[in-house]
Amino acid sequence: MLANVLTVILGIFLASLGVVFQYNGEMPYRNLAEIWEVMREHVAIYLLSLFTAHVSIAGLTASAGKLKLVDMPDHNRKVHVDAKPLVGGLGIVAGVMTTMLLFFPVVKYISLMFSILLILGIGVLDDRFDISFKFRFLAQIAATAITMNYFKGMHLHSFGNLLGLGQIDTGILVVPITIFCVLGVINAINMIDGLDGLAGTISLVAFGGFAFLAWLNDMPSFTLLGLTFAGALAAFLKFNWYPSKLFMGDAGSMTLGFVLAFFSIQLTQKPGGIVPPVAALLILAVPVTDTLVVMTRRMMQKKSPFSPDKTHMHHVLHQMGLGHSGVVIIMGSLTMIFTLVAVASTALKVPDYALFGFYVCWFVFFWMSSSPEKGIYRVIGYLLKKRLPLNSEAS
């Protein structure tokens, strides 16, 4: 309950901040009446998304059995032991779409909305019929291509000055590189969705970070879009926090991954913008690094990079004796730290190569963490000393 209240307050604060102050510290409105008029609309966007998603999820949960959108335990890789409705993603998108139809210019966002529905649809089919990953990839590629063609700024032209030797441009490879990066983020969020509240919490923090970066980058509509997703996720987490009543399913995780990739490109590729591409990488550092390391190790063992196992970060932390909520708090806190670094460094104009060096250090440190006795897991175990409430929760 406290987490939900804090999330509502945070959303209202961010919406208010974007209205009252500009990045240069000036107040663009002449009196309190003007401030309140604009603030009211911004806060309404956040609360409408939260309320609509909450109502939608509650209604869909009752129909999950009829829709055959239920995740059954396998007593192997899956952590849950009871059947769970897979309707969280549908409810999140219902809240977002309702808000966008009422408050956003539909003509401008129609390609994004269509792509979201395409990703959602293939995700629902996967939740229902467990379709081949090839069909999922085709849908993800199609959704990315549609947005690239019809939404201005959806091309990853530059990675920034990562090495201190000048801008690294994608050139003639801009299309395949953009598609590759979008699919990478989609599947990183999909793979991190392994514990109650985990993908929702990480995505919530990420959308909050992107909303703030959009404000710094003078992109107010993207600040509001970030708040829209944050509101829907706040509603979802009420149902998904441990012990969860339902899951978001592939429909939810793939949709969130797609939109987070959309934000990453839009905010960092704006002509004259101040947000470097590496800032988006930092915000998504936890799921992206975990996915890259796990998939690389699988291939080194001559396995499919998509073969399921229990080597993801949340699996290892859970095996260390941490409870569901403890794992989510740790990984959510790491995401928050990276997000704060990304936002602060953007505001302070820290060089790209310094931020990239910071990320490389994290990647190497995480790569060394092959067991609970090494790297990040050893540090976490030492700090917790297995006496904190984080691991006292029943698994």
Cis peptide before 176 (omega within 30 of 0): no
Q: How confident is the model at residue 389 (pLDDT cuts 50, 70, 90)?
A: very low
**In the predicted structure, residue 74 carries a pLDDT above the cut 90:** no
Q: Read off the pLDDT of residues 162-184 as tens digits, 9 standing for 90 and up.
A: 999 999 999 999 999 999 999 99
Separation CA 132–CA 271 (nearest Å): 39
Pairing assessment for the beta strands 84-85 and 70-71 based on DSSP bridges: antiparallel
251 to 122, 127, 285: CA distances (angstroms): 7, 7, 22
Q: Read off the pLDDT of residues 18-30 as tens digits, 9 standing for 90 and up.
A: 555 555 445 555 5
Separation CA 281–CA 272 (nearest Å): 19
Q: Which long-range contacts (CB under 8 A, 24 or more apart) does 100-106 make?
A: 100/225, 100/228, 102/48, 103/41, 103/44, 103/45, 103/48, 103/224, 104/221, 104/224, 104/225
- Which pLDDT belongs to residue 207? 95
**In the predicted structure, residue 2 carries a pLDDT above the cut 60:** no
More confident call, 391 vs 55: 55
Instruction: Characterise 252 by phi-psi region: left (phi > 0), alpha (psi -120 to 50), beta (else).
Output: alpha
> How many domains does one find in the chain?
1
Contacts of residue 301, defined as CB under 8 A and 6 or more positions apart, other chains included, come to none
Separation CA 327–CA 317 (nearest Å): 6
Complete DSSP assignment for 38-64: HHHHHHHHHHHHHHHHHHHHHHHHHHH
Q: Read off the pLDDT of residues 328-384 as tens digits, 9 standing for 90 and up.
A: 999 999 999 999 999 999 999 999 999 999 999 999 999 988 666 677 888 887 777
Q: Read off the pLDDT of residues 205-244 as tens digits, 9 standing for 90 and up.
A: 999 999 999 989 989 899 899 989 999 999 999 999 998 9
- Which pLDDT belongs to residue 13? 58
Q: Domain of 179? A: 2-391
Separation CA 266–CA 154 (nearest Å): 6
Supply φ then ψ for residue 70, to 5 degrees: -135, 135
Angle CA 345–351–357, to nearest 5:
90
Please state the rounded mean pLDDT for residues 54-79: 82
How much is the pTM? 0.91
